């Protein structure tokens, strides 16, 4: 299985040689502001299976916490991925082409979700990180 994705303007493209390890919706204030939405949906990827296929020189990074950078296209602003300690470990599910063959399994950081958004599905909800998943 090969998963492909990229930015709105098409400058930055990537491939993942494998399947996602899971996905979730993050409601933290950083994700809301970075994505301009009630939450961001991230999919977890094996860093060894991820590679940029074009436009790598157009990727900009914002260090949102000590070990995490949010990566986006410097031309169109599309959020694309996150790196932890320099390795891509998550991609924005909305930037994936076609069906990613994974569905969100949870809502995290619901303790700081947008007050104007109501979660109406049956997915698990966590005030912050799910047990065993705390990260910086």
Give the per-residue pLDDT at 136: 43
Largest Cα separation within the chain, whole Å, is 41
Identify the DSSP state of 130.
P
Residue that wins the pLDDT comparison between 53 and 65 = 53
Query: How many whole angstroms separate alpha carbon 106 and alpha carbon 16?
Result: 22
**Percent of the chain surpassing pLDDT 70:** 96
Give the per-residue pLDDT at 19: 96
Q: What is the pLDDT of residues 105-131, one digit of tens each?
A: 999 999 999 999 999 999 999 999 887
Give the per-residue pLDDT at 135: 53
What does pLDDT average to over the chain?
A: 94
**Class of the 3-125 domain?**
mainly beta
Give the per-residue pLDDT at 134: 59
Query: β-strands 106-108, 87-92: how paired?
Result: unpaired
Mean pLDDT of 67-88: 95
Give the per-residue pLDDT at 109: 96
Q: In the predicted model, is pLDDT for residue 93 greater than 60?
A: yes
């Amino acid at each position: 299985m090969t998963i492909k994705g990229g930015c709105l303007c098409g400058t930055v493209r990537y491939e993942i040689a494998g399947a996602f390890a899971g996905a979730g919706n993050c409601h933290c204030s950083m994700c809301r502001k970075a994505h301009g939405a009630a939450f961001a949906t991230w999919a977890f990827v094996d860093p060894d299976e991820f590679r940029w296929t074009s436009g790598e020189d157009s990727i900009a990074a914002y260090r949102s916490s000590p070990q995490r950078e949010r990566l986006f296209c410097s031309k169109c602003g599309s959020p694309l991925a996150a790196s932890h300690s320099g390795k891509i470990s998550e991609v924005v599910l909305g930037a994936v082409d076609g069906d990613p063959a994974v569905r969100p399994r949870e809502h995290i950081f619901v303790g700081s979700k947008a007050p104007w958004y109501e979660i109406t599905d049956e997915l698990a909800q966590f005030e912050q990180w799910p047990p065993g998943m705390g990260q910086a």
